[in-house]
Amino acid sequence: MIALAQYFTDFVLIDSTYKRNRFNMPLVNIVGVDNFGRTVMLAFGMIQDETIRSYDWLFQKLKECWNKDVRIFICDEDASIHQGIQPILIVWF
């Protein structure tokens, strides 16, 4: 996933499930699109809750692993994600 993240982070799609596992924790899926238009998993993480603090921690860890900043995130209208990301552009669906 780290190798894929070096190439396919022009824009990143992010969404989370809501307590759909045995731990009752949101699973955050972070995916990109490769040169062939296929979805590739760039990262995932389980967070304790969907708060700004949790997303901020997740994105700080992504920056450390990827060693780069992502310019465009595509996500839903979750305010916690928006305030945790702080990229150049956020697009929501």
From first to last of its 93 residues, the chain has per-residue pLDDT tens of 777 877 777 778 888 887 678 888 889 998 988 888 888 898 998 888 888 888 888 888 888 888 877 767 777 766 667 666 655 444 444
Residue 67 identity: N
pLDDT at position 15 = 85
Q: Distance between CA atoms of 26 and 29, rounded to whole angstroms?
A: 10
pLDDT at position 89 = 46
Q: Is the CATH number 3.30.930.10 carried by domain 2-92?
A: no
Q: Which letter, b or e, does each residue of 46-85 get, where b requires 16 or more Cβ atoms within 10 Å of its Cβ?
A: ebeebeeebbeebbeebeeebeeebeebbbeeeebbbebb
pLDDT at position 79 = 66
Tokens at 83, concatenated = 């305030």
